């Protein structure tokens, strides 16, 4: 009796599985759900899932349901490469969204490029990400992004340095692709404004004592500390600055909004400044709806990484619109649709009106991010006026 | 001068941690000529157990300092149990069969298992360990020190002194020393050497667990925290010499201080280089370590 039951169950499953696969459209999702970047990866994934639920509820794309194929790349380049090949060759995804880490993104997306499958980078910020396969060296570029890239972020940081009248910045960055590419962008942006950093320091992932770096910056007479690193090490950096009894403003890339930084740095992290494409505040109706949906779905009050969640959500909306417009799951047609989107997409970060063109694969422009700061353990706008009235919704200028 | 002292202090506190972990390597090597390659994971587990106990006690209304002190016996007991388990599961069989490399593989394997267990129980995200002491730095002669950094140095020294005293003064300690000197002879004198070896493993994990709860308040606690520290401590054990308790402490200080000094005076990007050069130099000119006794292995 028991055996028959089991047999029936297995048979049903075996029949159901391929039928299900035929009905759905498979989208890959690659990001770090474990390790130091997990807060960003998990928020991004949850944002994407939220969008998929909404799209599927409204009937899916091309009359089919979207099926997400999630893979944890652990922020490791080699694992990202493996996952890319698995998603392309074994899972036959029509497109992939994700990538938190610039290194993983740069290493993995060449496989998508070769297979002519579009990739939507929703968090990785390395300036190089969308330029790896750009024209004229390549006929078509399959890499898109809806995150504020490092040249936007570093320009914003450098401009703030200048506006606030600082003249002697010190840069402290980690030794990863992210930290070092960001540092180079930052040095360039400062040079364009006639500012030369008085100290450029470096540390490794996993380092626990940043006294030497902080002390060198202090001795060089720095009047502001600029950072390019991720959460836990950023916390060690501000802890070292505070330990030295050094009262200096700290500014850096958007990772200063990571929950692991805010929690580990505690009150030492209050007041740091960073560019943000999204701050967890209901400044537009869409943002309000998104925050409420996220809180209800994942039972949290504070989104671990609001920027990642919002950009993850938006990336899926843009991709779904492109598939609908392409009326096909063919990679080439989706890319063409992305480069020439005719529908206006109301996202969380901004409203996307022709976000991409054949030559421009960046949906986020310099006018979109605002400066955020940490206050009472939360990220808030440094200047509340930045998110009020007309300024709340910032859109990409028409080309 | 003030900068030099500031850098020296941070080098000492980092070096002390390396020293305590390396001290654990030395304990088991002395009695059994084997090492626990999962020492870094023993540190991780100690810190995470400490984290759970401390947060639970704080939840019950204890002050962070009281919770921390109350958690210490539990963490140390856990370390003893964990070390005994490693010896039982990983090392005993290999030694029985006189396997040269079996214990290496088994302690590495156990380390991986412990790390995965930690990831499943405590999750993969780094956690903030409630600091038992105020986090504001205190100023001593112009040098700023976090109270926890002083606690690290004192705690590490106290633990190592206690072990040394135990070895020198108590009858059980003498059995440990006898086993280290000559296992076969000690066995013939009626000392239960396999029990002594189990005990040395227990002590070794205890020291790692203590190192874990000592560093946890200044770093973040998580399944990954032990890996880098365990490896650094291994370099320390080689520099200082595996046969000398004093050697590994001095080795730890040397590595910690050279790292900080190079970071400050040369370039923060080259912080790890002199330590590794030192390691190579020691290996080529004094393979038994700076403080190690060279012994001729009779086959």
Flag whether pLDDT at A55 surpasses 80: yes
Q: What pLDDT shows up at residue A385?
A: 83
Of the residues B13, B257, B268, B272, the best mutation for testing chain A's interface (the one with the most A CB atoms within 10 Å of its CB) is: B268
Q: What pLDDT digit, counting tens, does each position of A30-41 carry? A: 999 877 788 899
Q: What pLDDT digit, counting tens, does each position of A262-318 carry? A: 888 888 899 999 999 999 999 899 999 999 999 999 999 989 899 999 999 999 999
**Gap from B260 CA to chain A (nearest CA, Å):** 6
Residues in B touching A175 (Cβ below 8 Å): 269
Contact A211 B260 (CB under 8 A): yes
Q: What pLDDT shows up at residue B242?
A: 83
Q: What pLDDT digit, counting tens, does each position of A138-194 carry? A: 889 999 999 999 999 999 999 999 999 999 999 999 988 889 999 999 999 999 999
Q: What pLDDT shows up at residue B238?
A: 87
Domains of chain A, start order: 18-148+282-364 (3.40.50.2300), 151-276+388-392 (3.40.50.2300)
- Tokens standing for A155? 């320009």
| Stretch A106-120: mean pLDDT | 94
Q: What pLDDT shows up at residue B275?
A: 84
Residues in B touching A264 (Cβ below 8 Å): 126, 128, 220
- Number of Cβ within a 10 Å radius of residue B2: 11
Strand partners, A203: A174
Instruction: Tell me how far apart the alpha carbons of residues A170 and A216 are, in angstroms, rounded to a whole number.
Output: 9
- Split at pLDDT 50, 70, 90, the class of A130 is very high
Flag whether pLDDT at A13 surpasses 60: no
Flag whether pLDDT at A2 surpasses 70: no
Q: What pLDDT shows up at residue A245?
A: 87
Flag whether pLDDT at B47 surpasses 90: yes
Range scoring the smallest mean pLDDT among A46-55, A354-363, B264-273: B264-273
Q: What pLDDT shows up at residue A159?
A: 94
pLDDT mean across residues, chain A: 89
Give the CA angle between residues A354, A358, A364 to the nearest 5°.
50
For residues A13 and A114, the model is more confident at A114
Of the residues B212, B221, B263, the best mutation for testing chain A's interface (the one with the most A CB atoms within 10 Å of its CB) is: B263
Query: In chain B, which residue's Cα lies nearest the Cα of A39?
Result: B125
Flag whether pLDDT at A68 surpasses 50: yes
ipTM of model = 0.80
DSSP A86: I
Residues in B touching A33 (Cβ below 8 Å): 124
Q: Strand pairing of A351-352 and A345-346?
A: antiparallel
Q: What pLDDT shows up at residue B139?
A: 85
Q: What pLDDT shows up at residue A384?
A: 85
- Tokens standing for A396? 């990409």
Q: What pLDDT shows up at residue A20?
A: 46
Residues in B touching A43 (Cβ below 8 Å): none
Flag whether pLDDT at A375 surpasses 50: yes
**Gap from B270 CA to chain A (nearest CA, Å):** 9
Flag whether pLDDT at A21 surpasses 50: no
What percent of chain A clears pLDDT 90, i.e. is strictly above it? Answer: 69
Give yes or no for a cis peptide into A136 (omega within 30° of 0). yes
Instruction: Tell me how far apart the alpha carbons of residues A212 and A221 are, in angstroms, rounded to a whole number.
Output: 14
- Exposed, middle or buried by CB within 10 Å (0-12, 13-18, 19+), for B68? buried
Q: What pLDDT shows up at residue A206?
A: 75
**Gap from A17 CA to chain B (nearest CA, Å):** 29
State phi, psi for A5 to the nearest 5 degrees.
Answer: -60, -45
Flag whether pLDDT at B270 surpasses 90: no
Q: What pLDDT digit, counting tens, does each position of B175-189 carry? A: 888 888 888 888 888
- Split at pLDDT 50, 70, 90, the class of A381 is very high
Flag whether pLDDT at A99 surpasses 80: yes
Q: What pLDDT digit, counting tens, does each position of B54-93 carry? A: 999 999 988 989 999 999 999 999 999 999 999 999 888 8
- Exposed, middle or buried by CB within 10 Å (0-12, 13-18, 19+), for A90? exposed
Residues in B touching A266 (Cβ below 8 Å): 128, 135
pLDDT mean across residues, chain B: 88
Q: What pLDDT shows up at residue A191?
A: 95
- Split at pLDDT 50, 70, 90, the class of B158 is very high
Flag whether pLDDT at B102 surpasses 60: yes
Of A202, A219, A244, the CB nearest to B269: A202
Q: What pLDDT shows up at residue A315?
A: 96
């Amino acid at each position: 009796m028991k055996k028959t039951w089991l047999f029936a169950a297995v048979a049903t499953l075996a029949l159901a599985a391929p039928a299900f696969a035929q009905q759905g459209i498979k989208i890959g999702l690659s990001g770090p759900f474990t390790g130091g970047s997990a807060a960003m990866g998990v928020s991004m994934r949850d944002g994407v899932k939220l969008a998929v639920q909404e799209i599927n509820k409204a009937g899916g794309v091309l009359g089919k349901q979207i099926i997400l194929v999630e893979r944890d790349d652990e922020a490791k380049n080699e694992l990202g490469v493996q996952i890319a090949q698995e998603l392309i060759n074994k899972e036959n995804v029509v497109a992939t969204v994700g990538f938190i880490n610039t290194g993983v993104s740069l290493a993995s997306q060449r496989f998508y490029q070769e297979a002519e499958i579009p990739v939507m980078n929703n968090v990785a910020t390395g300036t190089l990400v969308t330029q790896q396969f750009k024209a004229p060296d390549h006929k078509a570029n399959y890499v898109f992004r809806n995150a504020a890239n490092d040249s936007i972020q570093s320009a914003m940081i450098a401009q703030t340095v200048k506006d606030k009248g600082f003249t002697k910045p010190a840069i402290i960055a980690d030794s990863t692709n992210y930290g070092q590419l960001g540092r180079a962008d930052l040095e360039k942006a400062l040079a364009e404004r006639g500012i030369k950093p008085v100290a450029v320091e470096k540390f490794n992932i996993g380092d626990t004592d940043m006294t030497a770096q902080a002390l060198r910056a202090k001795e060089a007479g720095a009047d502001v500390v600029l950072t390019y690193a991720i959460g836990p090490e950023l916390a060690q950096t501000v802890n070292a600055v505070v330990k030295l009894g050094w009262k200096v403003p700290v500014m850096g890339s958007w990772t200063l909004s990571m929950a692991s930084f805010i929690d580990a740095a505690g009150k030492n992290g209050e007041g740091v400044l960073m560019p943000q494409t999204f701050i967890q505040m209901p400044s537009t109706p869409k943002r309000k709806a998104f925050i409420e949906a996220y809180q209800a779905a994942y039972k949290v009050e504070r989104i671990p990484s609001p920027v990642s969640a919002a950009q993850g959500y938006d990336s899926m909306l843009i991709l779904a619109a492109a598939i609908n417009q392409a009326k096909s799951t063919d990679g080439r047609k989706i890319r063409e649709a992305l480069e020439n989107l005719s529908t206006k997409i109301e996202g969380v970060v901004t409203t996307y009106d022709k976000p991409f063109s054949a030559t421009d694969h960046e949906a986020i422009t310099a006018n979109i991010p605002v400066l955020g700061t940490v206050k009472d353990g939360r990220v808030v706008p440094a200047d509340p006026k930045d998110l009020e009235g007309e300024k709340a919704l910032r859109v990409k200028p028409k080309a | 001068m003030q900068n030099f002292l500031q850098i020296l202090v941070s080098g000492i506190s980092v070096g002390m941690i390396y020293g305590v972990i390396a001290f654990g390597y030395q304990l088991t090597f002395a009695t059994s000529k084997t090492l626990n390659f999962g020492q870094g994971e023993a540190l991780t587990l100690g810190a995470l157990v400490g984290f759970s106990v401390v947060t639970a006690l704080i939840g019950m209304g204890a002050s962070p300092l009281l919770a921390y002190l109350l958690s210490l016996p539990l963490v140390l007991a856990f370390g003893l149990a964990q070390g005994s388990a490693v010896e039982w599961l990983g090392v005993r069989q290999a030694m029985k069969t006189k396997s040269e490399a079996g214990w290496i593989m088994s302690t590495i394997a156990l380390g991986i298992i412990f790390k995965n267990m930690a990831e499943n129980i405590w999750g993969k995200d780094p956690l903030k360990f409630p600091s038992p002491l105020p986090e504001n730095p205190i100023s001593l002669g112009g040098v700023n020190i976090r109270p926890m950094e002083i606690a690290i140095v004192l705690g590490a020294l106290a633990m190592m002194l206690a072990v040394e005293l135990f070895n020198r003064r108590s009858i059980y300690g003498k059995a440990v020393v006898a086993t280290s000197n000559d296992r076969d002879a000690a066995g013939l004198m009626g000392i239960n050497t396999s029990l002594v070896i189990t005990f040395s493993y227990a002590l070794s994990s205890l020291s790692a667990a203590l190192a874990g709860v000592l560093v946890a308040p200044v770093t973040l606690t998580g399944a990954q925290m032990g890996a880098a520290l365990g490896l650094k401590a291994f370099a320390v054990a080689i520099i200082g010499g595996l046969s000398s308790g004093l050697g590994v402490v001095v080795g730890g200080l040397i590595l910690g201080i050279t790292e900080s000094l190079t970071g400050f005076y040369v370039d923060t990007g080259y912080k790890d280089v002199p330590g590794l050069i030192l390691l190579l130099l020691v290996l080529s000119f004094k393979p038994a370590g700076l403080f190690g006794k060279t012994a001729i292995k009779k086959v």
